[in-house]
Amino acid sequence: MLDLRCAILAAVLGRSAVAFYLPGVAPREFDDGAPVNLKVNKLTSSKTQLPYSYYRLPYCKPETIIDKVENLGEILTGDMIESSAYEIKALVNESCKVVCKQKLQADDKNKFRSMIEDEYLVNWIIDNLPAATRFLGQDGTDYMYMSGFPVGVFMDGKYYVHNHVKLYIQYHQEPDLFQGSRIVGFEVEPRSFRHGMDDKPCAPSKNMPFDLELFDEVVFTYDVQWEASPVRWASRWDSYLKMTTAPQIHWFSILNSLMIMVFLSGMVAMIVLRTVYRDITKYNEFATAEEAAEETGWKLVHGDVFRKPNFSRLLASSVGCGIQVLGMSIVTMIFACLGFLSPAHRGGLLQSMMILFTFMGIFAGYSSTRLYKVMGGDDWKMATLLTAFLFPGFFFAVFFVLNLLIWGEKSSGAVPFVTMFAILVLWFGISVPLVYLGSFMGFKRETIELPVRVNAIPREIPEQGWSSSTLLTCMCGGILPFGAVFTELFFIMSSIWQHQFYYLFGFLALVLVILLVTCAEISIALTYFQLTGEDYKWWWKSFFSCGSSGVYVFLYSILYFNSRLQISGAIPAMLYFGYMFLASTFFGLLTGAVGTWSSFYFVKAIYGSVKID
């Protein structure tokens, strides 16, 4: 994975960039011998997706455990940053320093066995920099990095606990610019030692693995080695970007997806625009002649094309919620590309998305009311009520049920009820009033003027062929929007479910633009072909023609689950598919809203361009 500079590099067409300090994150200098705090975070596993507190296992505890939770996002992701018993001093090396000796009860051993079997990782933090384990890549020449280090290993039917760690801390000095040292790297090399009880517990003669079954006491020790590094503080996150697929693969996939999507979008746009232009020109030429041509195709249904659809309030609220998601996505991309939402801000991305979604309620209410008035609806208050409560309430209900499952597993990932109440305050105290404010603003504005009148009696729709069926059209229409995000979706899901870092927001912003253009053009094309068949019920079909891409996202999540993940257990599987269902719904609402508004303005434009009595 590339760093934030490369993401911006892609957005500005490959011009060179230099490293810079992320906004809101200031470097910290340590004097020689100054204390350096080692903090512990949650225990994580890609197999269970259930985080646990570090001190769930019988690790060494300080006299007073100090918790530190900085934002709502950290709580929602299960981060539990706490103080530790490790004593580290700047530029002071240590060798086999004993932290503590712990007696192991039968329950403690069972916890270790369970954690080792589920491949749990220990996560430490020094100067806001997470610990990483370095290992050789598949080619055997370049190093790769893994976030955290394993609790232990299981080999030959035995459980070995990593009770000794060697800490490699890289520092950078520039006396001309600043005093002291800046930490630019934090690597951990875990080991399992059968410690001796003499003055040298880590002596080579005692260097045997600690078998969990043979002893009732474990000694935790650590080494500290400080290493000078030429890496500057602004580039210290670069090493963590080696945790994913090689950058060349990502570049190739993104460019390939970009070329295919641009080609297909251009082709669809050219076909539709040329065909529509020819139809309008031909129709207007005959309309001005004495012998007017008989109306055919899409011109024949001009009296019904803006007829109120069934379940119009539901459609308006769905589009409104989609606009809310779209607004959140755009603003999030802007802040992310500027560097405000880097991995250095743990939980910052999730918290920003929640807050932005809340404040985008004003656009949801405005959009839903404007659309509802165009469709001829007369109960805008009910439409506003649906916009404010239907989908947000559904999302909260699913999230609440999933949180109960996590709480039942006694995982640190369970959101406390106090935080749940805070989420409800954001919803009812901010989002709902903003939705009503937006709806009121939309209601007070003049209704969008339509170029044709709606006939009193609806026209009969001719029998449509199998190729024009709603299900087939929508499923075919959803392929292109899904194809636009297919490549980036893999990296996003790897970041979420395999605990990897993601900050290719420049690429993601480019993909979002491609997605919006593709949705608009495919929806316009399918709406035009539907109208040429004299089928004027295009409202819902324009929504689902792009919104069905959410179905493909969920189907891809099933494929990803079976091919990339090793999740075991019913609860972890339910959590995975529950959250992916919510993500797919969000994606479907966003693309559906873009498709509906694009089709509306297209239909308005073409019927406003022909001369109809």
So what's the pLDDT on residue 523? 92
Entry pTM: 0.88
Residue ranges with strand state E in 173-279: 182-191, 217-228
Contact indicator for 83, 53 with CB cutoff of 8 Å: no
Cα–Cα distance measured from residue 354 to residue 368, given in angstroms and rounded to the nearest whole number: 20
User: Taking residues 356-363, what's their average pLDDT?
Assistant: 96
% of the chain residues with pLDDT over 90: 53
- 499 Ramachandran zone, left/alpha/beta (phi>0; psi -120 to 50): left
Helix (H) or strand (E) holding 83: strand 81-83
Contact indicator for 596, 319 with CB cutoff of 8 Å: yes
Domain extent listing, the chain = 27-243, 310-449, 472-613
Q: Which of 247-256, 333-342, 528-537, 591-600 has the highest mean pLDDT?
A: 591-600
DSSP symbol at 149: E
So what's the pLDDT on residue 8? 31
Q: Give every CB contact of residue 380 below 8 A, 6+ residues apart in sequence.
A: 369, 372, 373, 439, 443
So what's the pLDDT on residue 21? 41
Q: Give every CB contact of residue 451 below 8 A, 6+ residues apart in sequence.
A: 604, 607, 608, 612
So what's the pLDDT on residue 507? 77
Q: Which two tokens stand for residue 487?
A: 């490549």
So what's the pLDDT on residue 342? 73
Contact indicator for 298, 531 with CB cutoff of 8 Å: yes
pLDDT digits (tens, 9 = 90+) for 216-263: 899 999 999 999 999 998 888 877 766 555 556 666 667 766 776 777
Quick one: which of 178, 76, 89 has its CA closest to 126? 89
Between 342 and 441, the higher pLDDT residue = 441
So what's the pLDDT on residue 15? 32
User: Taking residues 169-193, what's their average pLDDT?
Assistant: 93
Between 257 and 466, the higher pLDDT residue = 466
41 phi, psi to nearest 5 deg:
-125, -170
